[in-house]
Amino acid sequence: MQPPVRRVTHIELPIYLDFFGGLLATMVGHDIPEITDAIQAQSSKMLHSSTLYLIRTQVELAEKIAARSPVDNPRVFFVNSGSEAVETAFLLTTAARRSNQVIALRGGYHGRSFGTVAATGIRGWSATSLSPLQVTYAHNGYRYRSPFGHLDDNAFTAACADELRTMIETATSGDFACFIAEPIQGAGGFATPPGGFFAAMNAVLAEYEIPLVSDEVQSGWGRTGRSYLGIEHYGVRPQAITFAKGLANGLSIGGVIAEESLMNSLTANSISTAGGNPISMAAGNAVIDFIDSHDLQHNADDIGRHLIRGLKLIAERNPLIGDVRGSGLMIGVELVEHGTKNPAVAETNTVLAEARSRGLLIGRGGIHGNVLRVTPPMTVTRAEADEALQILGSSIEIAGA
Ligand code: PMP
């Protein structure tokens, strides 16, 4: 089946329902007048300033996001991408703690730069170069394929925290700079830890004074529903938050919100030529205002629950679906072979292709590449969600046949 087509002068272009947002960057949808107007207005005033000078849009955005973040005494530094944001968090925590060792999570993804690739716990993304960072990988709270998966929530989180404690206590080469985690893993396939997970892990980290860095490049700014940051669902206050992607609705943006004492360790490195650029700042301010004025966190929660309910109904009649998980509009559907529960990789590719041919764009993730990622913009309507569910239902049926 071909996606619906639209005639644009002499060529016909397919129209897609975009439920992946170019890797979760299109946060509030395409063609939003408030965002376009803000970008246009700024572009006629000034295009560039660098982080050498404070400009009004930068200060406004820093104040807005700091006020919405669960970080004590927050300070903000802007860069251009998620990789740079995480790299900056490594710079400040390694400097503050005088250590080049970090703890990351299995299945985590943090970027494509030297340090962030090292901290990425997915083999397919590994690099051959030696890294300046030493990385130890902790349990990511993913139940479906975990050896601790049969335990109840409390016992499961206690087992993960015990493993972390043993890891810290048996490390022979000194302290750790930080513990970095995505509250819900993105590229790793939307592994969604149980509610007590980060509190249990953070209690261990606090004993050893290891800062928690919450990488919110995918989960930030309301996507997970109800709160601004994914980590808030876990009732934990991190020492630093990294962000990027959706904040400027697709324009380049990135940054770190960190406790002042940590951020102070950055003074020698506090230059980014295009970081905090006026156009991205204008877009970021407009995105936050748009999310607030349209109560989009509530919409993300509401439509997210609707999508998860619909996907679970599809799962009841199709054994190709092993697990449906997520929060708000970060929804993962893990596809498995019937009986063995082995990752159904070929079938995942079939679902993606079938959905696309019917006019629906979704993503793929997971360390085995067998997880569908369903991440519509926060403006998604119930009618659009129903259309997507209908397309996903038929695509999954075809792939499982
Ligand atoms: N952290 C996370 C959690 C991400 O998902 C990504 C990008 N997928 C990054 C960091 C890196 O961001 P960027 O691609 O903007 O460098």
ipTM of the predicted structure?
A: 0.99
Question: Hey, which of 78, 83, 114, 247 would you mutate to test ligand 1's pocket, going by the most ligand atoms within 8 Å of its Cβ?
Answer: 83
* The pLDDT of residue 191 is above 90: yes
Instruction: Specify the ligand 1 atom closest to the Cα of 84.
Output: 16
Provide the greatest CA pair distance for the chain: 67
Instruction: Specify the ligand 1 atom closest to the Cα of 86.
Output: 10
Q: Is 375 in the pocket of ligand 1 (CB under 6 A)?
A: no
Q: Is 138 in the pocket of ligand 1 (CB under 6 A)?
A: no
Give the tens place of pLDDT for each residue, 22-55: 999 999 999 999 999 999 999 999 999 888 888 9
**What mean pLDDT value characterizes the chain?**
94
3-state SS class at 336: strand
Nearest-angstrom CA–CA distance, 251 and 279: 8
* The pLDDT of residue 190 is above 70: yes
Q: Is 83 in the pocket of ligand 1 (CB under 6 A)?
A: yes
Question: Hey, which of 79, 122, 185, 217 would you mutate to test ligand 1's pocket, going by the most ligand atoms within 8 Å of its Cβ?
Answer: 217
- Residue type, position 169, single letter: E
Rg (the chain; Cα; Å): 21
CB 53 within 8 A of CB 276: no
pLDDT at 297: 97
Question: Hey, which of 110, 371, 373 would you mutate to test ligand 1's pocket, going by the most ligand atoms within 8 Å of its Cβ?
Answer: 110
Q: Is 110 in the pocket of ligand 1 (CB under 6 A)?
A: yes
The total of other beta-carbon atoms located within 10 Å of residue 44's CB is: 7
Q: Ligand 1 atom 13: the closest Cα is on which residue?
A: 82
Question: Hey, which of 84, 109, 180 would you mutate to test ligand 1's pocket, going by the most ligand atoms within 8 Å of its Cβ?
Answer: 109
Phi, psi of 234 (to 5 degrees): -105, 5
Q: Is 216 in the pocket of ligand 1 (CB under 6 A)?
A: no
The CA 284 to ligand 1 mean position distance, Å, reads 17
Classify each residue of 205-241 as buried b or exposed e, where b means 16 or more C-beta atoms within 10 Å of its C-beta: beeeebbbbbbbbbbbbbbbbebbbbbbbbebebbbb
pLDDT at 215: 98
Give the tens place of pLDDT for each residue, 352-361: 999 999 999 9
For the ranges 123-127, 145-149, 277-281, 371-375, the lowest mean pLDDT is seen at 123-127
Nearest-angstrom CA–CA distance, 85 and 110: 9
Q: Is 81 in the pocket of ligand 1 (CB under 6 A)?
A: yes
Report the alpha-carbon angle 183-19-307, nearest 5.
Answer: 70
Residues of the chain with CATH 3.40.640.10: 47-292
The CA 82 to ligand 1 mean position distance, Å, reads 4
Give the tens place of pLDDT for each residue, 307-333: 999 999 999 999 999 999 999 999 999
pLDDT at 102: 97
Confidence class for position 395, pLDDT limits 50, 70, 90: very high
For the ranges 66-75, 131-140, 177-186, the lowest mean pLDDT is seen at 131-140
As a CATH number, domain 47-292 is 3.40.640.10
Q: What would the mean pLDDT of 88-102 be, rounded to a whole number?
A: 95
* The pLDDT of residue 1 is above 70: no
The CA 136 to ligand 1 mean position distance, Å, reads 19
Of 2.60.40.10, 3.90.1150.10, 3.10.450.710, 3.10.180.10, which CATH number belongs to 5-31+295-400?
3.90.1150.10
Report the alpha-carbon angle 333-216-35, nearest 5.
Answer: 95
Provide the sign of the torsion angle of the four alpha carbons 175, 115, 278, 65, taken in this order. Answer: negative
3-state SS class at 139: coil
3-state SS class at 52: coil
3-state SS class at 122: coil
* The pLDDT of residue 268 is above 60: no
Nearest-angstrom CA–CA distance, 31 and 306: 25
Cross-sheet strand order for the sheet of 240-243:
74-79, 254-259, 240-243, 212-215, 178-181, 101-105, 134-138
Q: How far is CA 155 from CA 158, 194, 197, in A?
A: 5, 11, 10
Find all residues with CB under 8 Å of 10, minimum gap 6, and list them.
none
